[in-house]
A and B are shown apart, each in its own frame.
Chain A
């Protein structure tokens, strides 16, 4: 005997699970980040490779992205922060750029070091 009340509760349960599922999807989505320190053309502007950078994403270990090279990182979730430590030839930190960013539900993103340094709004894009 399935009463109306039960049906209502069951509907509520299903909706709750869909909601939880969506949250989990959002929270657990993993993203591959390609960190490139190469020549890049965004729109009309072209940026040359930036000096070597040590990139710290959230609380992870620093990732070296040397001039002319690329590296990759992996993050989980939507909102993140990064700290880019721009190095000089000796390896000392000249400048630090901090940014907070939110990722969409896409799988991979490209973070361009030159664009980041030049503060181009499109320093991060989906690929």
Chain B
């Protein structure tokens, strides 16, 4: 029964989603009682790897994977997460899988509650047996004790502080009798310092009991602290793997961030001569409540005419900054534009002050999908600046000026090389890259003083990427438009920005000149860098 070999063997695992390689030739082993740290930026392939391990439908429905995974010496082919669970693999996700109105005990034992027999189960099935509350308490307390954390098992999850929820979630996995491998996805993301320490200590205890543990995290200090092995993923490949004792934080940070196959145009670019360093945007103690990208307390200054980059790992908050300043989500704090205080929460005001925003949510916020190209390009300008309108009767009647609309559309179609039939084609029919170009054109038409661009090159092909970046450079140079660019592509930003801020845990971890080393950026993202 007990194999002497490794607990988990991943051999030659590769996965592609409709032609795009997401994982290539992943190989690593995990022994019983070993703790492995899986590190990498989002998009590096960590979640895909875990989805494969767990037999999630999203893998099998998109063509499966190649290579093999051996658990306890046997090849696995889980058809759904439940099979993985029953085989002894537990996963603690980042988003909590808890029922808010139930107590910790009830959540820990959800769907595996001990029950008492009654006659009706003969008739209608096992689900009519009553819950054995006493036994439930015993099992819940046992699971909680394995963690070494004091959790009130009768507290409703909805009333718990976030850290307790995390521990409840983990207890649920620990309650399972045959748990052999535990995967934790960013387990300390929501914990305080002391809670994180308790968790790490209990993970070490669990490992000493023979449970294999995989921790997905970007907190390099924690990785160095408790893991035995580190695997660094980058762009779907294992770029670095070693025993933790044989490597350093710097090395891991460098691997995390470094790229191959970078755009040719993103070479080190000349430092701009700033004759006057006028601050165009001053942000003080900004908080933004954007679900998933939450900003706690951010302060920074942006100089007129510069290209300012904002980077950081997904979910740490970088997308929240432009969304908050432009008023898309509830926010607070002090933001000064050209010295004047802004009223947050009002997109119209932001537009009137000549700030523009190309949102990362192309389809949701950026485009009117069932309208033609020329409508989309001129829309905001028409609404906020009364442009592209012909007015009659001393301004009482305003008609659309189709000729002007057509002219400006043709201009941008040429400049940005938008592939379409004509300027009246419906935007829904265009490809992602071309849709992005239209969003940009819409912002360019406004001729803003400050342009926020959020994930400008996400999901578009290489050719389109370079056109987009070149156009941004051009309007920055020719019109002096200040650009604040939020992006997950650090290398891209380093090729175009003057300075780059890194957001971690809802705060600014640091602001560095773009030509600083990858390692320094990596460390800021991993929460071990020096703060500004």
User: Which of A's residues lie within 8 Å of B, judged by CB?
Assistant: 1-2, 5-6, 9-10, 13
A5 touches B122 (CB 8 A): yes
> Does chain A have a CB within 8 A of B126?
yes
A1 touches B123 (CB 8 A): no
Distance of A82 Cα from B63 Cα, bound (Å): 84
Distance of A10 Cα from B126 Cα, bound (Å): 14
Distance of A33 Cα from B125 Cα, bound (Å): 49
A13 touches B123 (CB 8 A): yes
> Chain A nearest CB: distance from B115 CB in Å?
15
Q: Across the A-B interface, how many residue pairs have beta carbons closer than 8 Å?
A: 12
**Residue of A whose beta carbon sits closest to that of B127:** A1
> Chain B nearest CB: distance from A4 CB in Å?
12
How many B residues touch A, CB cutoff 8 Å? 5
Distance of A10 Cα from B122 Cα, bound (Å): 8
Could you jot down 12 A-B contacts, CB within 8 Å? A1-B125, A1-B126, A2-B125, A5-B122, A6-B122, A6-B123, A6-B124, A6-B125, A9-B122, A9-B123, A10-B123, A13-B123
User: Which of B's residues lie within 8 Å of A, judged by CB?
Assistant: 122-126
> Chain B nearest CB: distance from A93 CB in Å?
58
Distance of A60 Cα from B412 Cα, bound (Å): 100
Chain A residues closer than 8 Å to B124, beta-carbon distance: 6
Chain B residues closer than 8 Å to A6, beta-carbon distance: 122-125
Distance of A10 Cα from B125 Cα, bound (Å): 10
Given A2-B125, A6-B122, A9-B123, list of 9 further CB < 8 A pairs? A1-B125, A1-B126, A5-B122, A6-B123, A6-B124, A6-B125, A9-B122, A10-B123, A13-B123
**Residue of A whose beta carbon sits closest to that of B120:** A9
**Residue of A whose beta carbon sits closest to that of B119:** A9
Chain B residues closer than 8 Å to A2, beta-carbon distance: 125
> Chain B nearest CB: distance from A9 CB in Å?
5
**Residue of A whose beta carbon sits closest to that of B123:** A9
Chain A residues closer than 8 Å to B126, beta-carbon distance: 1
Chain B residues closer than 8 Å to A10, beta-carbon distance: 123
> Chain B nearest CB: distance from A83 CB in Å?
48
Chain A residues closer than 8 Å to B123, beta-carbon distance: 6, 9-10, 13
Distance of A9 Cα from B125 Cα, bound (Å): 11
Chain A residues closer than 8 Å to B125, beta-carbon distance: 1-2, 6
Chain A residues closer than 8 Å to B122, beta-carbon distance: 5-6, 9
Chain B residues closer than 8 Å to A9, beta-carbon distance: 122-123
Distance of A9 Cα from B126 Cα, bound (Å): 14
Distance of A1 Cα from B123 Cα, bound (Å): 12
